[in-house]
């Protein structure tokens, strides 16, 4: 890598700033929220199909080879044929949600930022990667390997895009980078287990309804029970803790617990409303003893966030401690309690053994376990040659001595061989000064990407791609 070439690449990136912003805005304005598979022509809805054809078209216009894997995944590459080196980004976005100051799908550039749903997660890094391929083409950089940018369409909603790609036996690159986290490099992702635990015995008719949590990966901030009206109970209700409120209507007492929400991958600091509800019911003895017995196990599961009651508490030095959150509570058709538990387990733990422990704990407490999913952890040791190359280049570029890190969340890296998360976000990015607190982040209202930061990430990526290309050649010789 000569200094002249590096300077030429950096200048090219700076010179394409305006054009990149324009393409990013065009792509954000396609509302590509991944919808459940319906039409086989558009496996994840019209929005994702439109975003995929737009991105492929942009690539083709810039001289790249485009491939469409039946609408699940797209690919842009330097040349036709198998890819050696892959970058995996996703076109789908999470729903816009509420409280936007700006328009989520009428993106704009303001004071150094592009604002719109998907700006950071993941359309900014995706467009940046597309421009990197274009840079290699336009500057005629002699690239030995075939570099490909893969465009997914269901990352936020279950990764059925990649499951389809893998199951169909399409070719996978030898090394893959996933620009969907922060620098320097994420080399370990915890495993994710979800189980549904159902009581084997029904509640008495006193329990009219039970409800807590909306999504399995969110710590619930609200949980409710409806109890048949009984005057004697009213006396006990005044002694409830402050997190609980009640109302009486239509022959029922409706009891609501309010907690503090959070992500189940990082539950520390949140307050699970299901736990608050169960504890209050047990303490105030608001239900017949047999019903309280049924709630006791549910309460114990959420007593801590480490799976102690399920006998699965464990940790390792790479990815830390297991977390377990009972996040969705319902009354099923048999009038039995049903709780979904979302578990993030360390990379060195065996999912099968954890599942067996949960099964045993359930049987002992007269519950039944159903396995909903076990997404295995991903782990690439930090001594792997390509990881060392990436870390050296990162250090040379930034002067930062940070080490590879692990995550409890999930990216495409967990479903690809030899894959790591690498940027394109920077650690502790500044909050856009013109946005209210809590706005601007991935999945948050007024999602924003700082363009200078993105261009800087591209410059680092350009160096890394050249280096990985050269490294492969050296190994062959």
- Positions touching Zn ion (CB under 5 A) are 121-122, 180
Which one, 122 or 256, has the nearer CB to Zn ion? 122
User: Structure tokens of 255?
Assistant: 């009891």
Residue 204 gets which letter from DSSP? P
User: Structure tokens of 411?
Assistant: 């990216």
Owner of token pair 């959150």? 325
Which one, 121 or 338, has the nearer CB to Zn ion? 121
- Three-class DSSP category at 177: strand
- What is the closest distance, in whole angstroms, from the C-beta atom of residue 83 to Zn ion in the complex? 21
- Three-class DSSP category at 454: helix
CA distances from residue 450 to 11, 110, 300, 426, 459 in whole angstroms, order as listed:
19, 10, 44, 10, 15
Which one, 119 or 460, has the nearer CB to Zn ion? 119
Owner of token pair 């002067």? 399
- What is the closest distance, in whole angstroms, from the C-beta atom of residue 451 to Zn ion in the complex? 19
- What is the closest distance, in whole angstroms, from the C-beta atom of residue 415 to Zn ion in the complex? 13
- What is the closest distance, in whole angstroms, from the C-beta atom of residue 155 to Zn ion in the complex? 6
| Contact predicate 157/48, CB 8 Å | no
Q: How far apart are CA 444 and CA 429, in angstroms?
A: 15
Which one, 281 or 407, has the nearer CB to Zn ion? 407
- What is the closest distance, in whole angstroms, from the C-beta atom of residue 93 to Zn ion in the complex? 9
Which one, 154 or 323, has the nearer CB to Zn ion? 154
| Contact predicate 287/228, CB 8 Å | no
- What is the closest distance, in whole angstroms, from the C-beta atom of residue 180 to Zn ion in the complex? 4
CA distances from residue 449 to 29, 127, 227, 393, 400 in whole angstroms, order as listed:
15, 12, 48, 23, 22
Which one, 126 or 244, has the nearer CB to Zn ion? 126
Q: How far apart are CA 281 and CA 461, in angstroms?
A: 55
Residues in the chain: 477
Q: How far apart are CA 213 and CA 217, in angstroms?
A: 9
| Contact predicate 183/405, CB 8 Å | no
- What is the closest distance, in whole angstroms, from the C-beta atom of residue 397 to Zn ion in the complex? 23
Tell me which residue of 462, 475, 319, 474 sits closest to 394, measured CA to CA: 462
- What is the closest distance, in whole angstroms, from the C-beta atom of residue 217 to Zn ion in the complex? 14
First-to-final CA distance of the chain: 18
Which one, 84 or 121, has the nearer CB to Zn ion? 121
Which one, 192 or 278, has the nearer CB to Zn ion? 192
- What is the closest distance, in whole angstroms, from the C-beta atom of residue 423 to Zn ion in the complex? 12
Which one, 180 or 279, has the nearer CB to Zn ion? 180
């Amino acid at each position: 890598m000569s200094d002249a070439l590096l300077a030429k690449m950096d200048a090219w990136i700076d010179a394409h700033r305006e054009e990149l912003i324009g393409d990013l805005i065009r792509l954000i304005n396609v509302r590509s929220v991944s919808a459940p598979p319906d039409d086989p022509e558009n496996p994840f809805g019209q929005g994702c199909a439109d975003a995929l054809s737009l991105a492929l078209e942009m690539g083709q216009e810039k001289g790249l080879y485009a491939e469409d894997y039946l609408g699940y995944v797209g690919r842009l590459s330097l040349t036709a044929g198998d890819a050696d080196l892959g970058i995996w980004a996703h076109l789908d976005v999470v729903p816009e949600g509420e409280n936007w100051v700006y328009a989520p799908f009428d993106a704009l550039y303001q004071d150094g930022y592009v604002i719109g749903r998907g700006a950071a997660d993941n359309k900014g890094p995706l467009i940046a990667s597309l421009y990197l391929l274009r840079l290699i083409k336009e500057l005629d950089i002699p690239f030995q390997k075939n570099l490909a940018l893969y465009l997914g369409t269901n990352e936020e909603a279950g990764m059925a895009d990649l499951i389809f790609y893998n199951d169909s036996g399409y070719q996978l690159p030898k090394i893959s980078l996933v620009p969907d986290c922060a620098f320097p490099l994420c080399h370990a992702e915890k495993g994710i287990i979800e189980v549904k635990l159902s009581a084997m015995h029904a509640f008495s008719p006193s329990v009219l309804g039970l409800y807590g949590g909306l999504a399995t990966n969110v710590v619930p901030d609200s949980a409710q029970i409806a109890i048949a009206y009984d005057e004697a109970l009213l006396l006990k209700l005044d002694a409830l803790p402050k997190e609980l409120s009640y109302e009486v209507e239509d022959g029922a007492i409706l009891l609501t617990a309010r907690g503090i929400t959070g992500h189940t991958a990082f539950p520390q600091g949140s307050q699970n409303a299901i736990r608050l509800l169960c504890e209050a019911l047990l303490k105030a003895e608001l239900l017949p003893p047999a019903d309280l017995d049924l709630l006791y196990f549910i309460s114990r599961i959420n007593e801590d966030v480490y799976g102690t009651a399920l006998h699965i508490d464990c940790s390792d030095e790479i990815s830390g401690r297991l977390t377990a959150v009972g996040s969705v509570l319902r009354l099923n058709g048999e009038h039995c309690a049903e709780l979904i538990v979302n578990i993030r387990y360390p990379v060195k733990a065996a999912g099968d053994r954890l599942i067996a422990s949960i099964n045993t704990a359930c049987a002992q407490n007269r519950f039944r376990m159903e396995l909903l999913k076990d997404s295995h952890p991903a782990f690439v040791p930090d001594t792997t040659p390509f990881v060392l190359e990436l870390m050296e280049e990162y250090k040379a570029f930034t002067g930062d001595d940070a080490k590879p890190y692990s995550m409890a969340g999930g990216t495409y890296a967990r479903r690809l061989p030899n894959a790591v998360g690498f940027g394109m976000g920077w650690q502790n990015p500044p909050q856009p000064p013109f946005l209210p607190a809590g706005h601007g982040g991935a999945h948050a209202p007024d999602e924003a990407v700082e363009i200078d930061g993105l261009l800087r990430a591209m410059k680092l990526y350009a160096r890394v791609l050249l280096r990985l290309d050269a490294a492969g050649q050296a190994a062959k010789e």
